[in-house]
């Protein structure tokens, strides 16, 4: 009886067993009677190991993994820290979101890859046959050797690989191996922020990472364009926590400009400004108009720190009348005054709201203005990001306490040491988004037409495509049907290697498909990511259970390939995997000896948090503001370039689809597929795939719990729904010339009329009708890149929506 009691009552929980035993002894039950039962219960005890959620929401929440008898039984959040907002040195409880909490579901998902496999059907068909690790590695090595000998290293490409972030067994393994083997074709830009990252340096000489979120506590007003931390940075140790603390402690006014009434509003915002997507630059021009005509601009700042606001500071090469002020007042070449009335028609934001926005920004100083990456993931995203930057520039709200440069909030970084990759000997780079072009017609791609960097043109197309930690083929990337067609032609890309831990949509395109382990199946270390703001921490990721089948880690897979290619010694440098973990830790510790304990102590503790580490200035451009002569920017003039001569030159020399897509001033350019495009007659709704609670991109997309909690539905305004006879919960089809997606509708006033959207990251699942019932948003998106960054305009799409008939 006691035996059962101890076992049942404790359910293997160590603390409960010890409490219960103590109580039983105190109640007078002799120890000798309890001994056997305690031993039995002890054998059933669970073990707790530290782990982390390493997907690309980039918070890296710590997870405590409980396992028993070689099985994970549950996942719990970390248990250090507090929920206090006592800035600046608060140590938050880094709470995982529903995704991290359902990690066990992802871990034991039926989609887990078990064995190495080779393709037996047509590429993309998803037909495979199990093979041995020896055969798999031999095949990969033969393909690598053939590619290098026949085409050179430039023909090998590692696709965007942001699926996991670990210090040792992560994406650096591939890069390290390939750099030893002579390198690979490089990439510039990312799927996340290609446009702002390329555009911002023309204005500021730095990219779009701005002041820390905590700095908004010194502001009277926080204005965010397309910035949704309560969905995108949900971890208890990231921007949402920081913004919540700012709201609690300092209570600035909050204005959110977004087509959706997002969770960041929470009913606590002061103003939600719904806007038609892709039109923020037009709104900014009208606000600028109001600031100028009311004399609310900071003229002294514009004169001293900026180039091109008015005639006085125009660079000599610029024609008369090409300054920003003239452009806004209608005195420039286009002769159009950028009035609120004009902007209201383009943006859907009422004139009175535009005037109110200008007044609020003028009156409430300091004013912290930021943008997420939604506005820049449009065909005119480079122009939009620079146009938003004009708000703080005109107001002189830059480099002072409580201000920002209009970019996304910053992140303090411990500069931790990862597995060293060495340098890529191949210098030529394609824009990350243009890898399908490089497969299809790489030899025709040039610097002026396709944004090739490091050479005038590509010598050869991609012949060996390596997807590891990447769902780039049929998840991340645009236009799945066209992409599939390009890859199905085996005379173009000759070999596709996929290493993943699930049968993702991309995995189906593999020639050789290798199963990776998941984090609880090996030791590693990870650090806080780029969305954690001022939180910094290191987590000891401890192996909890053995791999269930024949999976091997990324480190090990690359070691085996290195061995097959005769470079194992260079790859390992004589260190074992465990020794590399320790090496990375020690190197990180050398940078912060005061905060990190010995490796042994760290491993025992499981997590070390570093509160208050200020690796970066909390206010962006602070030094430049203080003394622009002494601390010039990395722009040609050393100043903020409202008028960019470099962009003027690019706009005139690059081979663009049409003139005027890249302009020296940050002026509004209509989105490619917008309400005025000829396509709008056929496809009248603007549609985009926002990032959502239900998955981190495609990761966790196979977890039923999350689908129940956060279903992927088409958000559509009642006005648009009624016109199509659609009711909440109806099954609908969203379609354009590129494909058809099927899902249920969420009819809601939370989205701007004329605009609709559903979460990106769903799994591509075409049925026998060719309809994507996953659905993956990228069934609807275009492969045509943006003008300057040649990035992914995946939020710019026209579609039509109709009721679907349930079969
Ligand atoms: N329409 C539209 N498309 C978009 C976007 C959008 O907003 N709209 N956003 C873009 C952005 S910002 C991004 S970052 C991309 C991301 O798009 P995805 O490529 O879908 O990114 P993830 O889901 O983060 O990860 C990719 C793969 O990594 C795998 N993975 C996870 N952990 C491991 C591991 O430990 N080992 C191995 N080998 N693999 C692992 C996952 O199973 C997954 O298949 O999508 C882009 N695509
Ligand atoms: N829960 C969750 N978190 C994530 C991810 C995830 O998939 N799920 N993905 C992670 C990754 S890889 C990345 S790169 C980031 C993505 O971060 P973002 O790119 O910032 O995310 P999005 O949801 O695409 O867009 C942010 C907001 O911009 C709005 N928006 C879209 N277009 C426009 C526009 O033209 N104008 C204005 N004003 N607003 C617009 C959207 O409605 C949304 O509220 O998130 C990360 N965090
Ligand atoms: S998805 Fe992001 S917020 Fe959620 S648990 Fe993972 S790291 Fe944390
Ligand atoms: Mo991203």
CA atoms lying within 13 Å on the CB side of residue 11: 3
* Residue 297 contacts residue 313 (beta carbons within 8 Å): no
**Residue 36 pLDDT exceeds 90:** no
Ligand nearest to the CA of 103: 3
- Overall average pLDDT of the 682-687 stretch: 98
**CB-ligand 2 contact for 755 (6 Å cutoff):** no
Paired strand residues for 721: none
Q: In this predicted structure, what is the pLDDT of residue 459? A: 97
**CB-ligand 2 contact for 795 (6 Å cutoff):** yes
**Residue 31 pLDDT exceeds 80:** no
- The atom number, within ligand 2, closest to the CA of 760 reads 7
Closest-CA residue, ligand 3 atom 4, reads: 97
**Residue 24 pLDDT exceeds 80:** no
Could you tell which of 55, 228, 238 is best to mutate to test the pocket of ligand 3, judged by most ligand atoms within 8 Å of the CB? Answer: 55
- The atom number, within ligand 3, closest to the CA of 60 reads 7
pLDDT digits (tens, 9 = 90+) for 344-390: 999 999 999 999 999 999 999 999 999 999 999 999 999 999 999 99
Q: In this predicted structure, what is the pLDDT of residue 1? A: 55
Least confident of 39-43, 139-143, 705-709: 39-43
- Overall average pLDDT of the 141-167 stretch: 96
Distance from residue 193's CA to the centre of ligand 4 (Å): 7
- The atom number, within ligand 2, closest to the CA of 231 reads 1
> Residue 385 is encoded by which pair of tokens?
């990001």
- Overall average pLDDT of the 269-293 stretch: 98
CB count within 10 Å of CB 125 equals: 12
Q: In this predicted structure, what is the pLDDT of residue 82? A: 77
Q: In this predicted structure, what is the pLDDT of residue 4? A: 57
Instruction: List, edge to edge, every strand of the sheet that includes 47-52.
Output: 47-52, 62-68, 71-77
* Residue 118 contacts residue 135 (beta carbons within 8 Å): yes
Distance from residue 36's CA to the centre of ligand 4 (Å): 54
Using pLDDT thresholds of 50, 70 and 90, give the confidence band for residue 20: confident
Going along the chain from its start, the domains and CATH numbers come out as 1-44 (no CATH), 117-184+415-527+543-605 (3.40.50.740), 196-410+620-650 (3.40.228.10), 678-803 (2.40.40.20)
**CB-ligand 1 contact for 760 (6 Å cutoff):** yes
Q: In this predicted structure, what is the pLDDT of residue 7? A: 57
**Which residues neighbour ligand 4 (ion) by CB within 5 Å?**
192
Could you tell which of 113, 163, 197, 784 is best to mutate to test the pocket of ligand 1, judged by most ligand atoms within 8 Å of the CB? Answer: 163
**CB-ligand 3 contact for 55 (6 Å cutoff):** yes
Q: How far apart are CA 383 and CA 202, in angstroms?
A: 11
Using pLDDT thresholds of 50, 70 and 90, give the confidence band for residue 333: very high
pLDDT digits (tens, 9 = 90+) for 9-18: 555 666 666 7
- The atom number, within ligand 3, closest to the CA of 94 reads 8
**CB-ligand 1 contact for 214 (6 Å cutoff):** no
- Overall average pLDDT of the 595-599 stretch: 96
- Overall average pLDDT of the 453-466 stretch: 98
Nearest to 38 by CA among 13, 67, 6: 6
Ligand nearest to the CA of 702: 1
Could you tell which of 62, 63, 99 is best to mutate to test the pocket of ligand 3, judged by most ligand atoms within 8 Å of the CB? Answer: 99
Q: Which residues contact 467 (CB under 8 A, 6 or more apart)?
A: 159, 161, 473, 496, 497, 498, 499, 500, 506, 509, 510
Q: How far apart are CA 638 and CA 206, in angstroms?
A: 11
Q: Annotate 495-516 with three-state secondary structure.
A: EEEEEECECCCCHHHCCEEEEE
Using pLDDT thresholds of 50, 70 and 90, give the confidence band for residue 786: very high
**CB-ligand 2 contact for 644 (6 Å cutoff):** no
**Residue 586 pLDDT exceeds 80:** yes
Ligand nearest to the CA of 531: 2
pTM, to two decimals: 0.95
Ligand nearest to the CA of 763: 1
**CB-ligand 2 contact for 692 (6 Å cutoff):** yes
Closest-CA residue, ligand 2 atom 15, reads: 232
- The whole-angstrom distance between residue 87's C-alpha and the CA centroid of its chain comes to 27
Could you tell which of 235, 533, 537, 700 is best to mutate to test the pocket of ligand 3, judged by most ligand atoms within 8 Å of the CB? Answer: 235
Report the chain's mean pLDDT, rounded to a whole number.
Answer: 94
**Residue 87 pLDDT exceeds 70:** no
End-to-end CA distance of the chain: 56
Rounded percentage of the chain residues whose pLDDT exceeds 70: 96
Q: In this predicted structure, what is the pLDDT of residue 588? A: 96
| Helix 340-347 and helix 351-363, axial crossing angle in degrees, nearest 10 | 110
**Residue 35 pLDDT exceeds 80:** no
Rounded percentage of the chain residues whose pLDDT exceeds 90: 88
Nearest to 477 by CA among 779, 789, 775: 779
pLDDT digits (tens, 9 = 90+) for 160-183: 989 999 999 999 999 999 999 999
* Residue 778 contacts residue 697 (beta carbons within 8 Å): no
Q: In this predicted structure, what is the pLDDT of residue 13? A: 65
Sign of the C-alpha dihedral computed for residues 651, 653, 656 and 658 taken in this order? positive
Distance from residue 587's CA to the centre of ligand 1 (Å): 29
**CB-ligand 2 contact for 756 (6 Å cutoff):** no
């Amino acid at each position: 009886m006691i035996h059962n009691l101890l076992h049942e009552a404790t359910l293997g929980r160590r603390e409960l067993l010890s409490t219960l035993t103590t109580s039983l002894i105190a109640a007078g039950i002799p120890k000798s009677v309890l001994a056997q039962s305690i031993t039995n219960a002890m054998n059933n005890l669970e073990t707790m190991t530290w782990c982390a959620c390493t997907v690309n929401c980039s918070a890296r929440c710590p997870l405590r993994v409980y396992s028993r008898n070689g099985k994970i039984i549950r996942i719990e959040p970390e248990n250090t820290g507090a929920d206090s907002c006592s800035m600046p040195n608060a140590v938050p409880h880094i709470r995982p979101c529903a995704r991290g909490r359902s990690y066990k579901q992802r871990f034991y998902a039926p989609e887990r890859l078990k064995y190495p496999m080779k393709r037996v059907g047509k590429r993309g068909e998803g037909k495979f046959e199990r093979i041995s690790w020896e055969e798999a590695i031999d095949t990969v090595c033969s393909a690598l050797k053939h590619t290098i000998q026949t085409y050179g290293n430039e023909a090998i490409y590692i696709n965007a690989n942001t699926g996991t972030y670990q210090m040792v067994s992560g994406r650096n393994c591939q890069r390290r191996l390939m750099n030893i083997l002579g390198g690979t074709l490089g990439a510039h830009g990312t799927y996340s922020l290609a446009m702002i990252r390329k555009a911002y340096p023309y204005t500021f000489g730095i990219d779009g990472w701005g002041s820390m979120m905590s700095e908004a506590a010194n502001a009277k007003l926080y204005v965010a364009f397309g910035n949704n931390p309560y969905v995108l940075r949900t971890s208890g140790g990231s921007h949402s926590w920081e913004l919540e603390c700012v709201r609690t402690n300092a209570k600035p006014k909050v204005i959110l400009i977004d087509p959706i009434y997002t969770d960041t509003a929470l009913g606590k915002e002061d103003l939600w400004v719904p806007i038609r997507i892709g039109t923020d630059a037009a709104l900014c021009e009208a606000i600028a108009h109001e600031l100028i005509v009311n004399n609310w601009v900071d003229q002294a700042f514009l004169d001293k720190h900026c180039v091109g606001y008015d005639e006085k500071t125009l660079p000599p090469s610029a024609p008369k009348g090409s300054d920003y002020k003239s452009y806004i007042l209608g005195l420039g070449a286009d002769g159009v005054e950028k009035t609120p009335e004009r902007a209201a028609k383009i943006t859907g934001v009422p004139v009175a709201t535009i005037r109110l926005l200008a007044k609020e920004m003028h009156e409430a100083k300091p004013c912290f203005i930021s943008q997420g990456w939604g506005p820049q993931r449009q065909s005119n995203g480079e122009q939009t990001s620079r146009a938003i930057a004009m708000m703080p520039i005109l107001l002189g709200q830059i480099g002072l306490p409580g201000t920002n440069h209009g970019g996304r909030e910053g992140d303090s970084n411990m500069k931790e040491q990862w597995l060293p990759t060495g340098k890529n000997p191949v210098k030529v780079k394609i824009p990350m988004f243009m890898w399908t072009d490089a497969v299809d017609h790489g030899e025709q791609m040039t610097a002026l037409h396709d944004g090739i960097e490091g050479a005038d043109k590509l010598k050869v197309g991609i012949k060996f495509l390596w997807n590891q930690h990447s769902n780039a083929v049929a998840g991340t990337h645009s236009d799945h049907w066209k992409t599939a067609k390009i890859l199905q032609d085996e005379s173009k890309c000759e070999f596709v290697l996929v290493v993943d831990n699930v049968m993702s949509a991309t995995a189906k395109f593999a020639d050789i498909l290798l199963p990776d382990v998941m984090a609880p199946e090996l030791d590693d270390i990870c650090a806080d990511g780029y969305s954690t703001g001022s939180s910094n921490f290191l987590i000891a990721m401890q192996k909890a259970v053995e791999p269930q089948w024949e999976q091997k880690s990324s480190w090990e897979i690359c070691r085996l390939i290195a061995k097959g290619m005769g470079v194992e010694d260079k790859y390992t440098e004589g260190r074992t995997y465990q020794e590399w973990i320790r090496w990375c830790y020690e190197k990180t510790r050398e940078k912060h000896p005061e905060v990190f304990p010995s490796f042994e102590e760290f491993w025992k503790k499981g997590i070390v948090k570093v509160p208050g580490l200020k690796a970066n200035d909390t206010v962006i451009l602070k030094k430049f503001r203080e003394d622009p002569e002494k601390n010039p920017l990395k722009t040609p003039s050393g100043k903020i370039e409202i008028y960019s001569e470099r962009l003027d030159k690019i706009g005139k020399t690059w081979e663009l689809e049409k003139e005027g897509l890249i302009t020296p001033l940050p002026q509004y350019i209509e989105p490619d597929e917008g309400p005025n495009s000829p396509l709008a007659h056929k496809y009248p709704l603007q549609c985009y795939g926002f990032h959502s609670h239900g998955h981190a991109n495609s990761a966790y997309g196979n977890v039923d719990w999350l689908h129940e909690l956060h279903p992927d539905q088409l958000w559509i305004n009642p006005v648009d729904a009624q016109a199509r006879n659609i009711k909440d919960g109806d099954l609908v089809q969203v379609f354009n010339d590129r494909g058809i997606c099927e899902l249920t509708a969420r009819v809601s006033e939370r989205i701007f009329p004329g605009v609709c959207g559903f979460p990106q990251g769903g799994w591509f699942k075409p049925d026998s009708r060719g309809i994507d019932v996953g659905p993956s948003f990228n069934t609807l998106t275009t492969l045509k890149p943006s003008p300057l960054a040649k990035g992914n305009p995946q939020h710019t799409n026209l579609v039509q929506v109709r009721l679907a008939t349930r079969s």
